[in-house]
Amino acid sequence: MSASQYGRVAFDFAGRELEGDVAEYLADGDISGPDGLLVVDVDGGRYRVAESDAESLG
């Protein structure tokens, strides 16, 4: 996977639904699965979210 495979995503953060553009993809495979981390730019702030917790918006 790479950040280019994602455009805009939505995800839950502390009970709020946030939406932003994926700026970076960090590979993070471990024994719990091959899930990576997305670094998402939301109005200038950067959030890390597990790939499986983000919904692609296109």
Q: What is the pTM of this model?
A: 0.80
For the chain, domain boundaries? 8-56
pLDDT at residue 2 in the model: 57
Measure the CA–CA gap between 51 and 58, rounded to whole angstroms: 14
> What DSSP element (H or E) covers 22?
strand 16-26
Q: What is the pLDDT of residues 5-57, one digit of tens each?
A: 788 999 999 999 999 999 998 887 655 566 789 999 999 999 999 989 999 99
pLDDT at residue 33 in the model: 61
**Closest among 14, 26, 21, 16 to 42, alpha carbons compared:** 21
